[in-house]
């Protein structure tokens, strides 16, 4: 691949970007730059074929290798980068795209900055230390996502019931989207190499196939019972009322289907969690948030 600093998207070599930046990734700052150009070239293509790419949001732009590929397929890109040194480099490297209004650079923490209201998709090599928190800021927005995670995290996001990986993350991510692992990525694709393999996840937004009385309570209820995933639901509901906020957990156990109460959290499908959460909302009198 030829490299260009002229502003032409899709032509920048990731190693040359690092050299021009004069900065190496720092694992202590959660910086692992994706440098395999074959992987980089594939990443935007994992968006759904009908995805709206008029405004793509990138979290953790680094030295801009993925930013460059996104500019090749998107009308506009908003890139978030918290490291002021990298942000300064990006402003210089992508000055033409910024001047044209095709790239907006947001310097700040992805957990604190405002995401653009009109973003139509997000494609990101996420900082792994905050990947969960950032993902659950993105999922409720309801846009297609292609995100890089640690492989274990990615597999838990996409897991099915009755598998070792299935848990709170699987149910909560699946509440917002169809989630799938689309590519595993070796350590050697990054500089510096992380300690674990990575994986790209695609999340396509859709409404759940079940109804819940309150999204926040449903997700809190799921989180609560999975803290005791080895217990039966009967015990998990009773023992985690301080997390779920149930005022009357015994009333929920008494009213629920006996088979559901005898199962463990990892055996229940999302629709069954929705059934229990709805019952808990009706008879367990969830306490109001303080």
- The tens digit of pLDDT for each residue in 86-97 reads 999 999 999 999
Q: Six-digit token pair at 239?
A: 């023992």
Helix (H, G, I), strand (E, B) or coil at 280: helix
Where do you find CATH 3.40.50.150 in the chain?
Answer: 14-205
- The tens digit of pLDDT for each residue in 62-73 reads 999 999 999 999
Band (105; pLDDT cuts 50, 70, 90): very high
Helix (H, G, I), strand (E, B) or coil at 251: helix
For residue 9, what pLDDT is reported? 52
Q: Which of 45, 13, 89, 276 is nearest to 183 (CA)?
A: 45
* Residue 116 CA neighbour count, 13 Å, CB half: 21
- The tens digit of pLDDT for each residue in 192-221 reads 999 999 999 999 999 999 999 999 999 999
Q: Report whether 246 belongs to an annotated binding site.
A: no
If phi > 0 it is left, if psi is from -120 to 50 it is alpha, else beta; for residue 154 that is alpha
Q: Report whether 28 belongs to an annotated binding site.
A: no
Higher pLDDT, 18 or 289: 18
Q: Is the pLDDT at 18 greater than 70, yes or no?
A: yes
For residue 284, what pLDDT is reported? 81
For residue 266, what pLDDT is reported? 97
For residue 1, what pLDDT is reported? 40
Band (85; pLDDT cuts 50, 70, 90): very high
Question: Rounded to 5 degrees, what angle do the CA atoms 195, 132, 211 make?
Answer: 140
CATH fold for domain 215-283: Helicase, Ruva Protein; domain 3 (1.10.8)
Query: Measured between alpha carbons, how far is 138 from 107 in angstroms, rounded to an integer?
Result: 18
Q: Is the pLDDT at 155 greater than 80, yes or no?
A: yes
Q: Are strands 121-125 and 33-34 parallel, antiparallel or unpaired?
A: unpaired
Band (24; pLDDT cuts 50, 70, 90): confident
Terminal-to-terminal C-alpha distance of the chain: 56
Helix (H, G, I), strand (E, B) or coil at 56: strand
CATH 3.40.50.150 fits 14-205, yes or no: yes
| Spatial contact of 81 and 55, defined as CB atoms under 8 Å apart | no
Where do you find CATH 1.10.8 in the chain?
Answer: 215-283
Cis peptide before 261 (omega within 30 of 0): no
For residue 3, what pLDDT is reported? 57
Q: Which of 207, 216, 265, 217 is nearest to 241 (CA)?
A: 217
Backbone angles phi, psi at 144, to 5 degrees: -60, 140
- The tens digit of pLDDT for each residue in 247-261 reads 999 999 999 999 999
Look-up: residue for tokens 């989180």?
223
Tell me the average pLDDT across 9-22: 88
Q: Is the pLDDT at 288 greater than 60, yes or no?
A: no
Give every CB contact of residue 239 below 8 A, 6+ residues apart in sequence: 228, 231
The mean pLDDT value of the chain amounts to 93
Q: Report whether 125 belongs to an annotated binding site.
A: yes
DSSP annotation of 107 reads: E
Give every CB contact of residue 184 below 8 A, 6+ residues apart in sequence: 151, 197, 198, 199, 200
| Spatial contact of 263 and 234, defined as CB atoms under 8 Å apart | no
Tell me the average pLDDT across 263-283: 95
Q: Report whether 36 belongs to an annotated binding site.
A: no
pTM of model > 0.75: yes
Q: Report whether 60 belongs to an annotated binding site.
A: yes
- The tens digit of pLDDT for each residue in 25-53 reads 888 788 899 999 999 999 999 999 999 99
Q: Six-digit token pair at 286?
A: 């969830």
Q: Is the pLDDT at 11 greater than 80, yes or no?
A: no
- What's the burial of 91, exposed, middle or buried (CB within 10 Å: 0-12/13-18/19+)? middle
Backbone angles phi, psi at 197, to 5 degrees: -70, 160
């Amino acid at each position: 691949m030829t490299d260009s600093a002229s502003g032409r998207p899709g032509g920048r070599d990731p190693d040359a970007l690092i050299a021009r930046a004069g900065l190496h990734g720092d694992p202590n700052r959660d910086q692992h730059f994706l440098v395999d150009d074959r992987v980089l070239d594939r990443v935007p293509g994992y968006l759904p074929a009908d995805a709206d790419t008029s405004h793509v949001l990138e979290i953790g732009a680094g030295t801009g290798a993925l930013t460059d590929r996104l500019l090749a397929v998107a009308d506009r890109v908003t890139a978030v980068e918290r490291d002021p040194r990298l942000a300064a480099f990006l402003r210089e490297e992508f000055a033409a795209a910024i001047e044209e209004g095709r790239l907006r650079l947001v310097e700040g923490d992805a957990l604190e900055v405002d995401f653009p209201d009109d973003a139509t998709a997000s494609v990101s090599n996420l900082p792994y230390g905050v990947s969960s928190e950032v993902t659950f800021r993105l999922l409720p927005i309801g846009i297609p996502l292609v995100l890089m995670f640690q492989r274990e995290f990615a597999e838990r996001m996409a897991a099915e019931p009755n598998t070792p990986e299935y848990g709170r993350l699987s149910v909560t991510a699946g509440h917002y989207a169809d989630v799938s692992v689309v590519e595993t990525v070796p350590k050697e694709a990054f500089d510096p190499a992380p300690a674990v393999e990575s994986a790209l996840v695609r999340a396509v937004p859709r409404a759940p196939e079940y109804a819940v009385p309150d999204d926040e309570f449903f997700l809190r209820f799921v989180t609560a019972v999975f803290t005791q995933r080895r217990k039966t639901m009967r015990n998990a509901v009773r023992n985690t009322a301080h997390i779920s906020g149930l005022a009357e957990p015994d009333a929920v156990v008494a009213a629920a289907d006996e088979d559901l109460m005898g199962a463990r959290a990892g055996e229940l499908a999302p629709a069954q969690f929705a059934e229990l959460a709805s019952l808990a909302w009706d008879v367990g009198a969830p306490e109001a948030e303080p």
